[in-house]
Amino acid sequence: MPSKKLEQAINEQIQRELYSSYLYLSMAVYCEEINLDGFAHWMLSQSEEERGHSMRLFNYLHSRGGRVVLQAIPQPPSKFKSPKKMFEEVLKSEQSVTKEIHKLYVLAKKESDHATEVELQWFIQEQVEEEKTAQDILAKLAMVGDQPAALLMMDRSLGSRGQQP
């Protein structure tokens, strides 16, 4: 069973993961409003992935005899200046989550909670992927600039997320 301090920290991470899911959901709405359905699809998929992360922590804490205490989820922004600015927010958010996962790992290590350390290693690896994906899309958006045709090509590409080639 995790210590009370670690239990509280995991509950806070569950809230952060749910906020991330909520943020991506809000970004999906923005993308639909500006007729970038592929971007919206990508954001909806990302929202589900983040919810999955929260449920992984939820189930982990429960399986270790900890108590899950759900916390309020802050309202995410609902307007973004452009797809590029939106992905700058994506990267910033993922970097923030990475920082918090690292803090959680340090706490688990300090408390000699080896099972939690092992569980958090999955999240550490996942965050490497999350940040790289955001950086790659942001780099492409920087290349695209204000070219509508190129943006529509990106929209089509992002809309194919999860589909078999």
What pLDDT shows up at residue 62? 94
User: Which positions ≥6 away from 18 have C-beta within 8 Å?
Assistant: 50, 51, 54, 73
pLDDT in tens, 13-68: 999 999 999 999 999 999 999 999 999 999 999 999 999 999 999 999 999 999 99
Q: Looking at residue 1, what is its pLDDT?
A: 86
- Average pLDDT taken over every residue of the chain: 94
Q: Which residue has the tokens 């429960």?
A: 62
The pTM of this model reads 0.92
Q: What secondary structure does DSSP assign to 86-148, as a single string? A: HHHHHHHHHHHHHHHHHHHHHHHHHTT-HHHHHHHHHHHHHHHHHHHHHHHHHHHHHHHTT-H
Mind listing the domains of the chain with CATH numbers?
4-159 (1.20.1260.10)
Dist. CA 71–CA 58, nearest whole Å: 12
Token code pair at residue 73: 């989820």
Tens digits of residue pLDDT in 60-91: 999 999 999 999 999 999 999 999 999 999 99
